[in-house]
């Protein structure tokens, strides 16, 4: 499976977590290809209870007394790659043990970042453990922390089309959840920053569009993502990206949601400039009918109409009713 264009390289998880491949559309029920194989085998988790107590010395009285095994302290454990014991529980999908640790952990422990700057929350997204994701955020884990690629847990959930994990990150706490975490406020979940850019300058909405995740796009918009936020590299909005991909369904969805049809990039190009440049007549028609201005110049003083004329495909574009000072342009 190919990685979605422009969403950023996926960082292998720590302790030998294999390369994650982006999901194809419709593959939301498949497991991420993330071979969560720690250099510290799962035997460490399986033998946890026995390692938490001193080994009893036994055998023949005449035998040399066995030295007691050193007590294993999971709270102070840290692997060579910077993983805490909770990181390893999540990597090996030991959910019950992970939830037990989360329930007793201080916030600083929950937000520990390994050598790849991955928190337990990042790894819970990679391994699709929505229940663990939910418990982490209810306990105060910071969903805004960024990994080595600048991706938050929200970016990753959008990239891989994990609707359940996205809901776990963003839904308000229910009365039952409030009772379980011992809190009497409805603001247990801090407002998520949906506008944070990763190191490629992309917000969660940009990533969802680039990965063609229509349902994730809708979920983000309903959660409060700003539809006209520009990327940090070229000033493209989600609508620009959808036009560049030739995704008519996403373009229509974004237009219905209030996408600015004349939003300029840093070079002044609007979505209509891009549609005309791609020789995409259906998208140009959709944008024009939505109110796009065919006479709006970019920084080089070229209008979409100029581009259509220079491409010798003017007859393809739906500008036949265009008037300038009351007179038809064509």
Residues 278, 325 within the same domain: yes
Domain total for the chain? 2
pLDDT for 178: 77
- Give domain status of residue 60, yes or no: no
Could you give the percent of the chain with pLDDT greater than 90? 60
Dihedral of alpha carbons 21, 251, 206, 31, sign: negative
Residues 133, 8 within the same domain: yes
In angstroms, the Cα distances linking 51 to 14, 44, 81, 284 are 23, 9, 21, 66
Res. 250: pLDDT tops 90: yes
Residues 175, 248 within the same domain: no
Q: What are the phi and psi torsion angles at 323 (to 5°)?
A: -130, 145
Query: Do you know the residue count of the chain?
Result: 330
What would you measure as the largest C-alpha separation in the chain, in angstroms? 112
The DSSP line for 70-133 is: PPP-GGG-B-TTS-BHHHHHHHTT-HHHHHHHHHH--HHHHT---TT---HHHHHHHTT-HHHH
Q: Which of 31-40, 55-64, 206-215, 318-327 has the lowest mean pLDDT?
A: 31-40
Q: Which of 130-134, 138-142, 158-162, 270-274 has the lowest mean pLDDT?
A: 138-142
Could you give the percent of the chain with pLDDT greater than 70? 69
Res. 308: pLDDT tops 80: yes
Dihedral of alpha carbons 212, 214, 218, 223, sign: negative
pLDDT tens digit sequence for 7-32 = 555 454 544 333 333 323 333 334 34
Residues 176, 44 within the same domain: yes
pLDDT for 20: 31
pLDDT class of 261 with cuts at 50, 70, 90: very high
Residues 96, 236 within the same domain: no
- Give domain status of residue 295, yes or no: yes
- Give domain status of residue 64, yes or no: no
The CATH number for 148's domain is 1.25.40.20
The DSSP line for 292-314 is: --TT---TTS--HHHHHHHTT-G
Residue 286, helix vs strand vs coil? helix
Of 134 and 67, the one with more pLDDT: 134
pLDDT for 16: 38
pLDDT for 180: 77
For residues 133-139, average pLDDT: 93
pLDDT for 215: 96
pLDDT for 52: 46
In angstroms, the Cα distances linking 198 to 6, 155, 165 are 11, 8, 19
Res. 226: pLDDT tops 60: yes
Residues 130, 29 within the same domain: yes
For residues 297-301, average pLDDT: 96
- Give domain status of residue 59, yes or no: no
Question: The pTM is what?
Answer: 0.78
pLDDT for 219: 95
Residues 144, 21 within the same domain: yes
Res. 46: pLDDT tops 60: no
Residues 30, 89 within the same domain: yes
Residue 7 · residue 21 · CB < 8 Å: no
- Give domain status of residue 12, yes or no: yes
Identify the domain containing residue 240 by its residue range: 227-330
Residues 290, 191 within the same domain: no
- Give domain status of residue 63, yes or no: no
Residues 19, 126 within the same domain: yes
Counting DSSP H helices and E strands in the chain, the numbers are 17, 2
Residue 11 neighbours by CB under 8 Å, 6+ apart: 20, 116, 118, 147, 148, 149, 151
Of 320 and 226, the one with more pLDDT: 226
Of 200, 217, 250, the domain-final residue: 200
Q: Which of 10-19, 85-94, 221-230, 258-267 has the lowest mean pLDDT?
A: 10-19
- Give domain status of residue 47, yes or no: yes
- Give domain status of residue 325, yes or no: yes
Bridge partners of 17? 36
Residues 194, 231 within the same domain: no
Residues 188, 247 within the same domain: no
Residue 77 neighbours by CB under 8 Å, 6+ apart: 84, 85
Whole-angstrom Cα Rg for the chain:
26
Which range scores top for mean pLDDT: 139-143, 161-165, 184-188?
A: 161-165
The DSSP line for 25-48 is: TT-TTSPPS--B--SS-THHHHTH
């Amino acid at each position: 499976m190919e990685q979605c264009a422009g969403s950023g390289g996926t960082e292998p998880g720590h302790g030998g977590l294999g390369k994650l491949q982006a999901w194809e559309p419709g593959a939301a029920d498949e497991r991420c290809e993330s071979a969560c194989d720690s250099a510290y085998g799962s035997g460490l988790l399986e033998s946890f209870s026995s390692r938490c107590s001193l080994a009893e010395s036994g055998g023949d009285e005449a035998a040399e007394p066995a030295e007691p095994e050193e007590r294993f302290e999971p709270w102070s454990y840290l692997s060579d790659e910077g993983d805490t014991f909770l990181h390893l529980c999540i990597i090996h999908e030991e959910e019950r043990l992970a939830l037990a640790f989360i329930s007793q952990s201080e916030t600083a422990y929950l937000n520990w970042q390994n050598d790849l700057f991955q928190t337990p929350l990042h790894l819970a997204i990679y391994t699709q453990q929505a229940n663990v994701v939910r418990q982490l955020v209810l306990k105060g884990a910071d969903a805004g922390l960024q990994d080595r690629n600048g991706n938050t847990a929200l970016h990753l959930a959008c990239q891989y089309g994990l609707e359940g994990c996205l809901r776990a990150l963003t839904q308000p706490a229910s009365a039952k959840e409030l009772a379980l975490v011992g809190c009497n406020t409805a603001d247990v979940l801090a407002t998520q920053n949906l506008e944070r850019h990763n190191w490629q300058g992309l917000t969660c909405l940009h990533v969802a569009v680039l990965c063609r995740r229509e349902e994730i796009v809708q979920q983000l918009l309903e959660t409060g993502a700003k539809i006209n936020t520009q990327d940090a590299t070229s000033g493209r909005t989600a609508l620009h990206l959808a036009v560049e991909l030739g995704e008519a369904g996403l373009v229509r969805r974004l237009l219905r949601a209030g996408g600015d049809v004349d939003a300029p990039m840093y070079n002044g190009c609007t979505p209509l400039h891009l549609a005309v440049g791609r020789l995409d007549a259906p998208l140009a028609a959709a944008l024009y009918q939505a109110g796009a201005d065919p006479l709006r110049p970019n920084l080089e003083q070229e209008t979409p109409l100029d581009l259509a004329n220079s491409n010798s495909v003017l007859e393809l574009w739906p500008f036949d009713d265009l008037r300038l000072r009351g007179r038809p342009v064509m």
